[in-house]
Amino acid sequence: MLGYANAVIFVALALSSVSANYIRTVPSGEFTKRSLHHGMHRRAGASNAAEFAKIQDPAQQCSYYDIPELTKMLKSHQFPKVSHIASIPEGDTQAQQVWQDIQNSGIIPKEVKVKGHTDGKGHSAIDLAGYDGSADPDCWWSASTCKKPKHANIPSDVYTCKEPNTWGLTFDDGPNCSHNAFYDFLQKENLKATLFYIGTNIVTWPLQAQRGLVDGHDICGHTWAHRAMTTLSDEQVFAELYYTSKAIKHVTGVTTSCWRPPYGDVDDRVRAIAAGLGLRTILWQDDTDDWNVQPEGDASVQKIDQNYEKIIGKADKESPIVLTHEINEYTMKEFQRMFPKVKAAYTNVVPLTACTNVTKPYVEDITYPDFGQLITGGKATGLPGGDSIQFDADQSAFKVVSFSQQENGFGHIGRSRTANNPETSSSSAPQSTPNSSFSDPPTNESDTKEGTKSGAATLSGALTFLAGLGSTALFAIWHTTL
């Protein structure tokens, strides 16, 4: 915990230091006050994502480094404070305009209330008391695992793959600073995944985030500071999503069209704000619960193995999107250990682009293989290389792209044929309104009872876990508890 506090202090000081034109790191193992007094800036062992990917020592990967242009953006309040619940920083007129447009569009249902509260320490807690979970008027996943909105003009959540015998491969909470061995493994196994990156982690570990894209995975947002989203105000929800998309754009160069709520905590209010930002809500059908391993969590390694085995056992019955994490060494190793069994049972282990046949997850000119192409060895085209991908400091680089402007992004799945669908519409003029009509994506509604009780249980378990731990592997996120 103390080391953690020092890391936070260190970042704060490092951010206020003089910029130089190269990426800097501190020597590993020096997240101590003492290191602050000694030469703390050293040339990085790497000057770009390709070089960084070669660093094997986890401590060296997790040594703080600095991309001066990014530091400048953080210092000049073009992003919210790292690890704090996001809000629109004063003076960000661009964000204010987007937020105003979303409010004016009327897409946010007024009758959906904020759930629970956020305490003085920045911890969010949901409160199920007083909410009619069986009627579930807000389609609140934490109460009922509802995934099909009760309000108009909001697309349903995506949680299964369309093709039979398919495992939808997803990893949350990255970029983990020390994920090189894990990403090497994915590369060696020729696996592509959908990575749900936390905004705070992206701006703290930008070279690691760039590797995710360069390696051919696809990137979705996982909020700025990883809080229970239904407990936040409309503007906070907006800012948590907006600045994560903005971080992804400036750091990796792509405009994402998907996000996943931390703890699955989403209702129609939160979905609507995400939809206004052109972000499709992605959940899961099966949960490994890997993050919850002892000693920090509640579950034994055997229990997590069993969770995996159970999902593995469903291979010929369903095609789940599966929740797994890159949050720490254990979860990354656990996937590597279980993968041979996953592979033996499931014919296809695919990222969500292939799982949903979304070939244009970003507005930029990058095309991902659809399902058929992927399983026959197809690769994404238009990706930057590890030695050419660059941080983009242009303040106007990030623009929200509404569902109707997305050619074949995640907002496209299930979009009704009347709603300016490029497949059927001859008009190529993009609509600026976030309002398009959606029909349900073709999902396999074989939801089990055990899935039904998991929402609230998962969330309260997760929050207890976080409160008890005081910090997680999410860099600097819970330091307000120190």
**Strand boundaries in 205-260, DSSP class E:** 218-221, 258-259
Pairing of strands 42-43, 218-221: unpaired
Beta bridge partners of residue 460, listed in sequence order: none
Give the orientation angle of helix 206-214 with respect to helix 180-188, to 10 degrees.
0
**Residue 328 binds ligand NAG (CB under 6 A):** yes
CB 171 within 8 A of CB 161: no
**Residue 105 binds ligand NAG (CB under 6 A):** yes
Residue 284 CB coordination number (10 Å): 23
**Residue 373 binds ligand NAG (CB under 6 A):** yes
Nearer to ligand NAG, 178 or 210 (CB): 178
Nearer to ligand NAG, 256 or 319 (CB): 319
Residue, CB closest to ligand NAG: 372
Q: Which two tokens stand for residue 103?
A: 């409010």
Q: Which of 156, 223, 319, 324 binds ligand NAG (CB under 6 A)?
A: 319
Which residue reads 């990354």 in tokens? 332
Say how far apart CA 345 and CA 103 lie, in whole Å.
Answer: 46
Q: Which of 242, 362, 475, 478 binds ligand NAG (CB under 6 A)?
A: 475
Q: Which residue in the list 226, 325, 412, 479 is annotated as catalytic?
A: 325
**Residue 371 binds ligand NAG (CB under 6 A):** yes
Residue 321 CB coordination number (10 Å): 25
221-280 positions binding ligand NAG, by CB under 6 A: none
CA angle 41, 43, 48 (to 5 degrees): 125
User: Is there a catalytic annotation at residue 217?
Assistant: no
First-to-last alpha carbon distance for the chain, in angstroms, is 8
Helix (H) or strand (E) run with residue 271 in it: helix 268-276
Say how far apart CA 352 and CA 410 lie, in whole Å.
Answer: 9
What is the DSSP code (8-state) at residue 347? S
**Residue 177 binds ligand NAG (CB under 6 A):** yes
Part of the chain binding ligand NAG (CB under 6 A), chosen from 83-91, 213-221, 302-310, 371-379: 371-379
Q: Which of 100, 190, 446, 464 binds ligand NAG (CB under 6 A)?
A: 446
**Residue 372 binds ligand NAG (CB under 6 A):** yes
Q: Which residues contact 132 (CB under 8 A, 6 or more apart)?
A: none
192-231 positions binding ligand NAG, by CB under 6 A: 201
**Residue 148 binds ligand NAG (CB under 6 A):** no
The 54-83 site mask, x for binding ligand NAG (CB under 6 A), equals ------------------------------
User: Is there a catalytic annotation at residue 172?
Assistant: yes
Count of residues near ligand NAG by CB under 6 A: 28
**Residue 19 binds ligand NAG (CB under 6 A):** no
Pairing of strands 65-66, 24-25: antiparallel
Please, what is the minimum distance in Å from the beta carbon of residue 345 to ligand NAG? 13
Q: Binding residues for ligand NAG, per CB under 6 A? A: 105-107, 153, 162-164, 176-178, 201, 317-319, 327-329, 357, 370-373, 435, 444, 446, 473-475
